[in-house]
């Protein structure tokens, strides 16, 4: 059995990128409605121009801009209205000198015209003649062919999480189905002789499962799907059989609990039992969460997470999210944070990244962050938190009143 | 027909809260797995103590702390180990003076003990005796009954969006099913003689639907579900019949396009046709997005949105999100933003809130915001954006280089 020393998160993430890049997630073709929020698995280029005709941005009259040279309220230009363009129809007239046609917003600007005067800036003199009260420049109130999106423009980049706006852009260019990564499949084992399901009645000494529910929620948030979860006694053979049964069916297998140095610690032995490279991280320089195990075998990532809900969720926030970034080839990794006033001083831990969860409260335009400091086994702590701060290993801590970044992802 | 003046967003939100509070969204009972991300529809109090036994936070020996008074490396206290507590089992021994039992992390601390010494701080002298090398205080390494969550504690508040941590907490207190609001049902009509579906081939002058896809995505993000969407010509009678058919089946009906002052503007007439109070907002002091319509009749909210994708999505970001906050009674409304350096100067619009979308780019620990300024009909603008800044109506603009809040929700 390998016993490794606690590594810095930065080093661990480099190793994860190296090792977990071999995990292949297949793609599937989905409708635009289904693809929202999923990670697109190939670049999409436009096969059309948007717009694909010169389009008016206003309700008005399409004309030659030079016919309005010098026009003003006192000295209007008089132009003949020779027709109307209907929405959704091709403009048939060709505009000659001192002619115009009515074009609605979004309508096609006819050939010969190079500007559209808004109806607010004209007067109708009779059935035919309009008076234009301002000078237009060429191109005014027109979006030209391809001005928004040009043929062969890259519209959505591989690895992007599809937003409502991406879906709109794909629709605009006539793409109605899109290739996205399948949801990575995750199996979660909670270990411990004392663990029961939430619907079970419990005896003294037993507790209900927390971690597998928290991990499942985070998996879904990061874009994965829980294929199976179950509770195991601290029995090494049963656990090995469980991993053997599921390892080939999933992309990530999580064993929650059993990773501390207690007498029932069997996780590291189990996770190192399924081939090379096996366990490559055993201990991380993160507080809380030191007894974390990362392993890889048979194209499956395996995590051993600490049993305390606070530690387990912080670790999965860091390394679980990173795993999904890697295997889904996510291109954008903006971490949402809010700058807030720290309401209590926090103490760091030399050489370790310390994470402190707490409650972010808005006070008018400002935010305050109240750290919730309890024993790390407290579930009330994490359920009342809506963000966390990170204290670097090379600082002694952060003083009350200082501005801190509160991460809210 | 009522023509109203452009109102400030703050005033409009007050009116929305007053009017839309009458929309009733029913509840449904879901499993914890299904309830993730949904809005809980009643307060949940704990019927149990967590923990419901005094629990050790370490692997060690439970004993009376007073027996270790003055103990140190040089002067250990000698204690008799009389047994072991098994994980998940009730502790049967009662600790007397100078006695201890082994307890694993998470195990039950037996009666008579008031502290647990970590195995790291003892030496085993023989089969029975341990030497304790430090002085323990009462309560050390113990979480007491109810210390995390007490019977009758409020665990999750009505209106909260259930996070992975809430789901964990509900599991911990033995709640396996939870009452959440049903997803509000939304119907979206895109209007315009020129609008086609993404899979349609299009003729010159026609364009593919963008807005209903963007709105659908935002609806899902805010917790709703799109029951139906369809495309209408600018035909007032067909549109009235469409609304009549769907108004009683949905909680929000959106008409996209047709809300500007053009000759085909029929939306306001349609949305004012279904009873009191009907249209109560026609025109908002927001740029872009002025020609926005809000209406209410027959327990259904109705929105008329501008046809330009940029305007329509900004307006739905403001008022659509607010509607879901109201009808789902959401209790937490933290808006995620990132502080970034503004890369181009922006000009405001007196008396109006101006919204500018753009691209947030991380540069090491800092963020830069590049506004994307195009004509508001540009889909490339919104699909390339990942955030927006807001310019108040009482400022002239924001200078390049200033720090701005970039909203990323």
Question: B233 φ, ψ to 5°?
Answer: -70, 165
Q: Which residues of A touch B261 (CB under 8 A)?
A: 59
* The pLDDT of residue B262 is above 90: no
Q: Which residues of A touch B202 (CB under 8 A)?
A: 52, 174
pLDDT at A366: 87
Nearest to A299 by CA among A17, A6, A25: A25
CA distance B195 to chain A (A): 7
For the record, the structure tokens of A191 come out as 């270990």
Taking an 8 Å cut-off on Cβ atoms, the answer to whether B378 and A217 are in contact is no
Q: Is the previous residue joined to A288 through a cis bond, with omega within 30 degrees of 0?
A: yes
Q: Which residues of B touch A107 (CB under 8 A)?
A: 194, 205
From A218, which residue of chain B is nearest by alpha-carbon distance? B164
* The pLDDT of residue B366 is above 80: yes
From A310, which residue of chain B is nearest by alpha-carbon distance? B165
Taking an 8 Å cut-off on Cβ atoms, the answer to whether A104 and B148 are in contact is no
Q: B9-26+182-327 and B55-143: same fold?
A: no
CA distance A277 to chain B (A): 30
Nearest to B227 by CA among B199, B274, B188, B270: B188
- pLDDT tens digits, residue range B145-182? 999 999 999 999 999 999 999 999 999 999 999 999 99
pTM of the model: 0.94
At the top level of CATH, the class of B33-49+150-181 is: alpha beta
Question: A112 φ, ψ to 5°?
Answer: 90, -25
pLDDT at B364: 78
Taking an 8 Å cut-off on Cβ atoms, the answer to whether B378 and A143 are in contact is yes
pLDDT at B263: 40
* The pLDDT of residue B15 is above 50: yes
CB B295 within 8 A of CB B280: yes
Taking an 8 Å cut-off on Cβ atoms, the answer to whether B383 and A166 are in contact is yes
Eight-state DSSP code of residue B319: I
Q: Which residues of B touch A199 (CB under 8 A)?
A: 174, 176
* Strand A207-208 to A278-282 pairing: unpaired
Q: Which residue from A106, A208, A367 is facing B194, i.e. has the nearest CB?
A: A106
CA distance B305 to chain A (A): 15
CB B55 within 8 A of CB B142: yes
Taking an 8 Å cut-off on Cβ atoms, the answer to whether A88 and B195 are in contact is yes
Return the axis-axis angle of helices B211-221 and A164-172, rounded to nearest 10°: 160
pLDDT at B377: 64
CB A358 within 8 A of CB A372: yes
- 3-state secondary structure (DSSP) of residue B163: coil
Q: Which residues of B touch A260 (CB under 8 A)?
A: 59, 105
List Cα–Cα distances, B319 to A1, A195, B13, in angstroms: 59, 45, 7
The CATH number of the domain covering residues in A28-50+147-181:
3.90.105.10
Looking at per-residue pLDDT, the higher value among B309 and B254 belongs to B254
Q: Which residues of A touch B161 (CB under 8 A)?
A: none
Q: Which residues of A touch B175 (CB under 8 A)?
A: 198
Inter-chain Cβ pairs, chain A and chain B, closer than 8 A: 298
For the record, the structure tokens of A90 come out as 């091709």
Q: Which residues of A touch B38 (CB under 8 A)?
A: none
From B216, which residue of chain A is nearest by alpha-carbon distance? A164
The CATH number of the domain covering residues in A9-26+183-327:
3.40.980.10
d(CA A155, CA A88): 24
d(CA A355, CA B366): 20
CA atoms within 13 A of residue B107's CA, in its CB half-sphere: 28
Taking an 8 Å cut-off on Cβ atoms, the answer to whether B382 and A169 are in contact is yes
Mean of all residue pLDDT scores within chain B: 93
pLDDT at A263: 40
Q: Could you please state the CATH topology (level 3) that the domain comprising B337-407 is classified under.
A: Beta-clip (2.40.340)
d(CA A26, CA A315): 27
Q: Which residue from A194, A367, A379 is facing B106, i.e. has the nearest CB?
A: A194
Q: Which residue from B85, B143, B334 is facing A377, i.e. has the nearest CB?
A: B143
Return the axis-axis angle of helices A211-222 and B164-172, rounded to nearest 10°: 160
3-state SS track over A86-119: CCCCCCCCECCCCEEEEECCCCECCECCCEEEEH
- pLDDT tens digits, residue range B190-228? 998 889 999 999 999 999 999 999 999 999 999 999 999
* The pLDDT of residue B42 is above 90: yes
From B357, which residue of chain A is nearest by alpha-carbon distance? A165
Q: Would you mind telling me the total number of residues written for chain B in this entry?
A: 409
Q: Which residues of A touch B338 (CB under 8 A)?
A: 334, 336-337
User: Out of 3.30.450.20, 1.10.760.10, 3.40.980.10, 3.90.580.10, which CATH number does the structure's domain B9-26+182-327 have?
Assistant: 3.40.980.10
From B168, which residue of chain A is nearest by alpha-carbon distance? A210
Q: Which long-range contacts (CB under 8 A, 24 or more apart) does A71-75 make?
A: A71/A132, A71/A133, A71/A134, A71/A135, A72/A133, A72/A134, A72/A135, A73/A133
pLDDT tens string for chain A (409 positions)? Answer: 566 688 999 999 999 999 999 999 999 999 999 999 999 999 999 999 999 999 998 899 999 999 999 999 999 999 999 999 998 999 999 999 999 999 988 899 999 999 999 999 999 999 999 999 999 999 999 999 999 999 999 999 999 999 999 999 999 999 999 999 999 999 999 998 889 999 999 999 999 999 999 999 999 999 999 999 999 987 889 999 999 999 999 999 999 986 554 545 689 899 999 999 999 999 999 998 888 999 999 999 999 998 888 899 999 999 999 999 999 999 877 777 888 999 999 999 999 999 999 999 988 778 999 999 876 568 888 889 999 999 999 999 999 999 999 998 7
Looking at per-residue pLDDT, the higher value among B290 and B53 belongs to B53
CA distance B295 to chain A (A): 24
Q: What is the dihedral of CA A150, A153, A155, A157, to 10 degrees?
A: 180
Give percent of chain B with pLDDT exceeding 90.
81
CA atoms within 13 A of residue A200's CA, in its CB half-sphere: 13
Give percent of chain B with pLDDT exceeding 70.
96
Q: Where are the domains of chain B?
A: 9-26+182-327, 33-49+150-181, 55-143, 337-407
From A204, which residue of chain B is nearest by alpha-carbon distance? B90
* The pLDDT of residue B376 is above 60: no
List CB contacts of A388: < 8 A, sequence separation 6 or more: A314, A317, A355, A356, A357, A358, A406, A407
Nearest to B334 by CA among A1, A129, A338: A338
Question: B343 φ, ψ to 5°?
Answer: -90, -15
Pick the residue of A174, A177, A217 with the most B CBs within 10 A to test the interface with B by mutation: A217
Q: Does domain A55-143 correspond to CATH entry 2.70.98.10?
A: no
pLDDT at A335: 78
Question: A111 φ, ψ to 5°?
Answer: -55, 145
CA distance B228 to chain A (A): 12
Taking an 8 Å cut-off on Cβ atoms, the answer to whether B198 and A171 are in contact is yes
Q: Helix, strand, coil proportions of chain B in percent (round to 5)? A: 20, 35, 45
* The pLDDT of residue B189 is above 80: yes
């Amino acid at each position: 059995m390998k016993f490794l020393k606690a590594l810095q998160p930065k080093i661990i993430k480099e190793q994860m990128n190296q090792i977990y890049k071999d995990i292949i997630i297949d793609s599937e073709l989905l409708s635009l409605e289904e693809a929202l929020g999923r990670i697109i698995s190939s670049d999409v280029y436009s096969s059309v121009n948007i717009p694909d005709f010169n389009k008016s941005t206003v309700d008005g009259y399409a004309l030659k801009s030079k016919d309005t040279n010098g026009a003003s309220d006192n000295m209007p230009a008089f132009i003949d209205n020779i027709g109307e363009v209907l929405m959704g129809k091709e403009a048939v007239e060709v505009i000659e000198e001192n002619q115009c046609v009515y074009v609605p917003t979004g309508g096609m600007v006819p050939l010969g015209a190079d500007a559209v005067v808004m109806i607010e800036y004209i007067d109708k003199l009779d059935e035919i003649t309009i008076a234009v009260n301002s000078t237009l420049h060429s191109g005014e109130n027109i979006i030209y062919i391809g001005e928004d999106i040009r043929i062969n423009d890259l519209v959505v980049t591989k690895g992007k999480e599809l937003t409502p706006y991406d879906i709109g852009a794909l629709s605009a260019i006539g793409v109605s189905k899109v290739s996205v990564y399948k949801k990575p499949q995750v199996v979660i084992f909670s270990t411990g002789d004392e663990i029961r399901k939430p619907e079970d009645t419990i005896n003294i000494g037993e507790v209900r499962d927390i971690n597998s529910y928290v991990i499942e929620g985070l998996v879904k948030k990061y874009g994965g799907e829980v294929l199976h979860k179950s509770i195991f006694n601290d029995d090494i053979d049963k656990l090995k059989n469980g991993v053997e049964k599921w390892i080939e069916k999933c992309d990530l297998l999580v064993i929650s609990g059993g990773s501390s140095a207690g007498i029932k610690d069997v996780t590291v032995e189990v996770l190192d039992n399924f081939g090379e490279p096996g366990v490559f991280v055993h201990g991380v320089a993160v507080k809380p969460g030191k007894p974390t195990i990362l392993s890889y075998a048979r194209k499956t990532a395996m995590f051993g997470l600490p049993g305390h809900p606070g530690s387990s969720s912080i670790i999965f926030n860091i390394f679980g999210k990173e795993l999904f970034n890697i295997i889904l080839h996510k291109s954008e990794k903006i971490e949402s944070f809010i700058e807030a006033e720290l309401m209590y001083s926090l103490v760091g831990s030399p050489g370790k990244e310390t994470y402190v969860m707490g409650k972010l409260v808005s006070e008018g335009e400002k935010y305050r962050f109240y750290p919730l400091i309890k024993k790390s086994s407290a579930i009330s702590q994490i359920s009342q938190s809506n963000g966390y701060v990170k204290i670097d290993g090379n600082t002694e801590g952060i003083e009350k009143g200082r501005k801190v970044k509160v991460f809210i992802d």
